[in-house]
Amino acid sequence: MHHTTDPSTQTSPRIDPSADVTGAVIGDGTSVWHLAQVREGAVVGTGCVIGRGVYIGSGVQVGDNCKIQNHALVYEPARLERGVFVGPAVVFTNDTHPRAVNPDGSPKSATDWTPVGVTVREGASIGAHATCVAPVVVGRWATVAAGAVVTKDVPDFALVAGVPAKRIGWVGPAGVPLAQRDGVWTCPRTGARFVELDGALKEETRA
């Protein structure tokens, strides 16, 4: 279920009593739903929706108007720019070489490893149950398909799927796949035009 927030009718954050947001900064018009945990030092922007059971780690940065769906795990030091969609049960990892114990068998502590984060650029969408293995960057307006495992950076406007995730197309800001004709990629919904050069997609500049 999607919960929506209308900034014109609600300016202060709506935090469910069962949520734990001690020491976090929550922006105006943001909703934090049942059993979500937003750790100390995290900053969540305005107009966001934080779904049931979401975990947002210490110091994570979430931009304005993001939607983080139920049971997503956003481990520190992830950074989400404005307008990012994170589907249900998505995982952003933060440990390149995970172990519960050291070689001598002693338990690992916070000083035994350095967390690395996932960065998601403006407008990108991460599908349900996808995993982004840090450190990766998901580009502007890119779409990661449901169930994908992202192990390499995702270009702006790329549509990636699979394990490991590979580019299978391009998408525009409207989120629908672009169609190619005469060397130009066009959004069937908005008519926006893009050109591909050296494996990257850029919006067409008009004279």
Torsional class of 52: left (φ above 0), alpha (ψ -120 to 50), beta (otherwise): beta
Three-state secondary structure call for residue 160: strand
Phi, psi of 119 (to 5 degrees): -115, 130
Active site residue 2: no
Residues 102, 107, 110, 113, Cα dihedral to 10°: 10
Q: Which of 2, 3, 34, 71 is catalytic?
A: 71
- Written as six digits, the tokens of 42 are 């995290």
DSSP string, 28-89: TT-EE-TT-EE-TT-EE-TT-EE-TT-EE-TT-EE-TT-EE-TT-EE-TT-EE-TT-EE-TT
* Catalytic residue IDs: 71
